[in-house]
Structure 1
Amino acid sequence: MEEQLKAQLDLMQAALDHINQGFSVFDANLTLVAWNRGLWEMLDFPQELARRGTHLEAFLRVNAERGEYGPGDIEGKIQRRLERAKLFEPHYFERIRPNGQVIAVSGTPLPQGGFVTTYSDVTEDRRRQEKLERTVEERTRALQQSEDWLRLVTDNIPALIAYLAPGPVFRFANRRYADWFGHSVASVAGRPAPEVVGEELFKELEPHIAHAFEGNAVSYEYRRKRSDGSTAYMRSTLIPDMTADGRTLGIFVLSLDATDQKHAEAALVQSQRMDAVGKLTGGLAHDFNNLLAILMGNLLSLSRLEQPLDRNALDRKLSPMLEATKRGSDLIQRLLAFSRGKAIDPQTVPLAKVIASAGRLLEGSLPPVITLETVIEDDAIAARIDPTQMETALINLAFNARDAMPEGGTLRILLSETLLDRREADEIGLPPGRYACIAVEDTGTGMDPETRLRVFEPFFTTKTFGTGSGLGLSMVYGFIHQSGGTIKLKSELGKGTGLVLYLPLVVLQASAAGDDARLERPALKRGQGELLLLVEDDPDVASTVTDQLQTLGYSVLCAENAEDARNLAFDLPELRGVLSDIIMPGQTNGLALAREIRRKRNDLGIALMTGYADWSALAGQDAQCEFPVLAKPFADDQLADTLQQILSSKT
C-alpha cells in the first residue's frame, strides 16, 4: 500500500515538474508537502530543502539571509512572515529579487489548513509593460506637442477654423473662431452650435450645415454685427469629414473675413455703374429733348391762342404735357437710383420687372440702327438677387452688345425657365434643378476662341485703351455666381454672341407677379379747408405746389425762408400742418426747421419735400428722418396721401 501511494506521489511530482510555474504545498503545520522543480529553478533554493517535512521557516531564512527581503533585522522579518502565513488567508503580491527578477506569488488556503502557492516569473511581462507605458507616455507627450503646435498654427492663421460633429456640436475651434462669437476656446468644445453662434444666426446657417453633413462641400456668405456696431461679411466653406464607406463623421469649418473684399467689390460695382451712367446720359439727353419738345410745342400752341379752348381741346394739349413731365420724372428717378446703387441686398424679385426697368433705361441709349427686343416667357419667373446689381449687369451686357454691332443689328433679352438634369448641370457647374434663364443675344461680330477663354477675366478688354476698364463682364460673372448661378457663353466670329445667365428659380404667385394689372384709381383724399404752411424759396415752385394744395381742398400760407416760417408756425394757433422744402438758402435747412417747430408745436403735422436724391448729405444730417419726404416732382395722389398721413396722426 505504501509503495502504491509512493508511486502515485512520484507520478504527481513528475507531472508538477512539467508546469512552467513554481509550485508548493504546505500543510497546517507549515511543513512542505509537495513542490516542483520549477520552484527550485526559479528561486534558486538549496537542494537539501527539497524534501517533505521541510518547515516554511527554512525557506524564509534562506531568502532573508541572502537579502531577498531587504536589509535589516533578519529574525524579525522571518517571524512577521511566519505569523502572516499562520493566518492561512488568500494572498497575492509581487516581489522584486536583488537580481531584478520579478516574482508574482499567489497563495490559496486549503480546507484543512495549509495553502497552495504558485510562483510566476513575470519579469519579461513587467519589462514589456514598463516599455509600453514609456511608449504611451512618449507618444502622449508627442501628441500633446503636436496638438500644441496645431493650436499655435491655427490660432495664428487669419481665419476662423472649427470642427463640427453631428448634433451639430463643436469639437474644436481656434482662438479667432471663439473670439468672433464671444467665447473662449475651452468653452466652445462640446457645446451645441446654436449656443455658440446664437439662435438667430444658426437659423440662417442651419441649411448649409445640414447640406454639408449630407456629404457636400458648401460655400456661403453671411453678415454679422461687430461689437462696435459695424457690419462684417464672412465667407465660409464647410468640408465634410468622410469615411471610406461614405459616412460623414463631422465637418471642417473655414471662415474668412470678406469685409474688405466686399467693400472693394462695391467700389468696382460703383465704378462700373458710373461708367454705365456716363453712357446712359447721352440717350437720356435725347429722351429729355423729346420731352421738352412736347412741352414747348404745346405751350407755344397755347400761347398763340386767341380764343379759349373747350375742355376736350384743352385736355388734348395738357395730356401729352403731363405724360411728358411724368416720364421725365421717372427717367430722373431711375437714373438716380441706378447711379447711387445700394448695398448688396438679395431679395425675391420678378425678373420681368428688372428687365423692363433696364429696357426703359436703354431705350434712348442705343443707336437707331440697333433694335432692342425683349421676350418674357412668364411674368412669374423670379430669383433671389440684388435688383440694382441685376439691372447693372444687364446694362453692361447691353453696352457690350452695342459695341459689337457698330453697323447695327438686333439685341434680344429673353427670360425663360429651364430644368437642368445631372449631366447638364455638371457641364456648367451647378446643382441639378430648376433655374431662371436670362439670355442676352446680339447679332454682332462675335468672339474668337482666345477671347472666349479670357472674356470673364478682370481687366481683360478688347476695347481701345482708355475706353473700357475690362471689369464689366468680370463683375457680371462675379455677381451671378454670388447669387448662386452661373453664365454660359456661346460666340463665334461673324455669328454674334449669346450669354445665358442661370439663377436659382423662384416662382411667384400670380397675384405677386401681376403688379402691372390696371386697377381703378381710388379717389383723391381731399382736405376740408385746413390751413397749411408751405415753406419754399423758389417762387415758381411755391406757386405750383400752392395750386396743388388748394386743388386738394387746403388753405395755404407761403413762407420763403426759415425765419418767416418759424414766426408763422409759432404765432398762428389755427395752423394745422407744415410742408417744407429741405434744401433752402441760409443756415437752417428744412429738416432742422421741422425739428425746431415740432419741439414747440407738437400739434402740427409736418412733411418735407426735396428735388435732391442725396439730400441728407447736403443738409448735413444723417439719413434717419422722422418726417415723410416727398420727392419732387410729385403727383396729386402722392401729395394727398402724405397730407392725410401727417394730419390724421394729429387728430
Structure 2
Amino acid sequence: MTDVAAAPLRILHLEDSDLDAELIEAELDRLGLRVRIGRVMDRDAFAVEACPGRHDLILADYVLPTFDGISALGIAREQCPDIPFVFCSGTLGEDVAVEALKNGAVDYVTKQRLDRLPRTVLRALAEARARDEKRAAEAALQALNRTLEARVEERTRELADANNALQAQIVERERVEEALRLAQRLEAVGQLTSGVAHDFNNLLTVIAGNIEFLGREVSSERGQRRLGMMKGAAERGANLTAQLLAFSRRQRLEPTPVSLNRTVASMRDLLQSSIGGAVRIETTLQAGLWPALVDATQIELVILNLAINARDAMAVGGLLTIETANVAVTGRPTRPEQPQPGDYVMVSVSDTGSGMPPEVLARAFEPFFTTKEVGKGSGLGLAQVYGFVKQSGGGIRIDTVPGEGTSIKVYLPRVDGDDADAPPASAPADCARTHPPGSKPALLVVDDDAGVREVTATRLVEAGYGVREAASGLQALAALEADPCVDLVVVDFAMPGMNGADTAAEIRKRWPQVPVLFVTGYADTAALTQVGAVGVDSIVQKPFQDGELERKVASTLAARPIAQLRLVSGRDRSA
C-alpha cells in the first residue's frame, strides 16, 4: 500500500455516469488527503488499469451498460488481489451485497448514502495496510526463524505487540461506529420530538386560550380554583414541550370551478422563488381548457408540492415543465392511483432529474416512504397529493425514466360550462374608503390549525381589532389579492407546504407596506430571525402568555409608519 501521508491516494474508479462520478469525487474530497482518481468505464480499460502497485483502492459501480461489478471484481481478484475493492452503487441489494463480500469485496456503499464513503474508504485502506503489515511481519519472522532461532522469542513478542495494536484499533473502530449509530438514533428522536412538541404547543394554545376565556365567565371561587389548576397544568405542559425542544428541534374540500391555466400562471413567481434560480420553469397551457372542479387552494398546494419534489430530484438544476390539457381517458386503470375512464382536466409537472427506479415507483404513494436523506423529507408529499386527488374524483399517473426525469400527471374532474380561462376584472381596492381613519385595524391571522387560529382570532377581536382568517400561506396570499387593505399579518411559522417564512417573503415582495408578526411553538428563534423577524417583538411564542399577543400586535401597529391614503390594485401593488 502507498503511504497516504506522503503520496497522493491513488483510486481506480469504474463508473459510467458523469454525474455520479462527480458526486463521488466530491465526497472523496472530504478525506482531507491528496487524491488522484483514474476513471474507467468499460471492461478493456479496467483490465489494463487493474495492475498490482498501480492503485491503492478500487471503487466500482455494480451495473454498467456492457459490464458489471461482479465481473470487475473477478478481474481484480485475479490481477491485483491485494488492492481493496469497494462497491459504490445505487442498485446493490442486500443479497447482491452479501455475495459481493463473499467474492472478495471489502465493503459497499449505496449512492443514496454517499456520506458513508469517506469513512468506508479509510477503513478499507486501514485494513489493507494492517494486512500488509501483518504479512510483512510474518515473512520477516519466518526469515529470522530460519537463520536466528535465538531471536524467536523477541520477534514473537514484537508480533504479539502488533497484533494487540490491531485488536485495539478494531475495538476503537467498533466504539466509534457504535457512537455514530447512537448519534443517528438521537437525531431521529430529535426530529420526532420537535414535531411532537410543535403539535402539543398548538393543543396547549387552544387549551390555555379557552381557559382564559372561561375565566372571564366563571365567577365562583371553586370554578376559578379549578380553572387555575387547569391553567397550571397547561403551563407545565408548555414547560415540558420547551424541554423537548431544547433536547432537539383527513381534509375538508370546497370544490369550485377553477381555471388551471390561470392558477399556473398566477403561481409562476411563487414557484420560481420556491425552487430557486438553478431550475428553469416552462409552461405549456392549452387554449380552451375546461374548468376543473377542485378546491382552489389545495390544487395550488399540490402544484407547489410537486414542483418542490421535482427540484429535489434535480441535484444540479434543470428544466421544470408545467403543462395543462383536456384529456379523455378511455382505458381502465392498471394501478389504484390512476384515473377511471372519463373526461379530465390534466395538469402535469415534469422534471429532468434522476427519475425513479421500478422499486421506488412501486412505493411512491406509500406514507412515510422516501428516498431522501434523513431530515430532507417526511415521505408524506405524494401520499397527500394522492389523497387529495382521489378525494376530488381524479387520479394520478407517473411516467419516469431513471436518469432522465419524471412526469407526474394529475387528472381532475371537468366542469360542464363555459371556458374558465377569461380572467375576471380586477377592480382597484380603495383602502381609504373601505378602511377610513378611526376604523378598527384590520388583521389577517394565518394558521393551519383551526383551533389555534380560533383562539388567536378571538383574543384579537376582543382586543378591538377586525380579524380575517386564512388556513394556509396560499390562502393568505389569495385573501390579500382579493383585499390588500390589511394593517398586520399574524402568521404561524410552522405550516405544511408553504410555511410562515415563505408566506412572509411573498407578502413583503407583493405588499411591502404590510408588516408581519410571527407566531411559533418552537423555542429556537434563530430561524425566525433569519427570515426577517427582527427582535423578540416580532415573535410571539405559543402557548400565549398573558397579554403578550395583544401587546406585540399593538407595538407592531404603533411602529408602522402612517401611510397616505392610497388606491391599491390586485395587480398594481405600489404603495
**Structure 1 or 2: larger strand share?**
1
Shorter-chain TM-score bucket reads: 0.3 to 0.5
TM-score (normalizing by structure 1): 0.30
Greater Rg by CA: 1
Larger RCO, structure (CA 8 Å, separation 6 or more): 2
**Given the two structures, how large is their TM-score scaled by the length of structure 2?**
0.34
